[in-house]
Amino acid sequence: MLYRKSKYLWGLALISSFALIGCGGGTTVDSNPSGTTQNITLPTSFSVNDGRLLAANCAQCHGTNGNSVNSWDSIAGKSDIAGEFYEDENALMGAVAHGFTQNEVDNIASWLKTLPKNNNSNDDNDD
């Protein structure tokens, strides 16, 4: 499922350290917002992607590029999101899911599965 009812984390990582690493594909950001390692690559150019725009609706709860900073599930790299989207036992996720069509969910899933997972991100579905 997309959310987990597991350990409670408080202590906002308000001012965490970032480092810039130049690379051939743009600029890679090595961030450490709450003990996880997050690699964000800034692109050299803009390309249109409808799935990415729709999936941005997930980021408020599941983290930028699908990498959650706490025990709520990370969804980066997931290929099975379409199957579980409407059936999550978390009531809030169920409410949000109601507002998206199957075609939109497929678009979101197509984008999410391309995203790299954080080293310590929480993406298990066994609870």
Partner 1 sequence: MNNKNRLDRRDFIKYLSLGALFSTIPLSSNVATIPHVVVVGAGFAGSTCAKYLKLWGGDSINVTIIEPNSIYVSPILSNLVLNNQITTNQLSFNYDKHINSYQINMIYKSVSTIDSVNKELVLSDNSRVKYDKVILAPGIDFIKTNNYDFTKVPHAWIAGEQTNILKTQIDSMVDGDYFVMTIPKSPYRCPPGPYERACVVADYLKNSKGFTNSRVIVLDENSDIIVEKQNFQNAFNAHGVDYRPNCKVTQVDDTNKTLTYTEGSIAGKTITATVLNVIPNQKAAKIIFDTGLTGGGNFAPVNLLSYESTIKSDIHIIGDSHHSSQPKAGHIGNSEAKICADAVLRILSNNPLYQNPKTNSACYSPTSSTEASWLNAVYKYDAVNNNMILTDSSYYPKSSPSSTYNYREMFKWSENLFADTFS
Residue 122 binds partner 1 (CB under 8 A) = no
Report the sign of the C-alpha dihedral through residues 76, 54, 114, 43, in that order: negative
Longest dimension (CA), the chain: 43
Buried/exposed 56-86: b ≥16 CB within 10 Å, e otherwise: eebeebbbbbbbbbbebbbbbbbeebbebbe
CA distance 98 to 93: 9
Between 40 and 82, CB nearer to partner 1? 40
**Token digits of residue 54:** 């729709």
In whole angstroms, the minimum distance from the beta carbon of 6 to partner 1 comes to 10
In whole angstroms, the minimum distance from the beta carbon of 31 to partner 1 comes to 6
Residue 126 binds partner 1 (CB under 8 A) = no
CA distance 103 to 51: 10
Site for partner 1 in 20-39 (CB under 8 A): 20, 22, 24-27, 29, 31, 33-34
Between 57 and 113, CB nearer to partner 1? 57
Binding residues for partner 1, rule: CB under 8 A, are 3, 5, 8-10, 12-16, 18, 20, 22, 24-27, 29, 31, 33-34, 40, 42-46, 48, 50, 52-54, 56-57, 59-65, 68-72, 91-92, 95-96, 98-100, 104
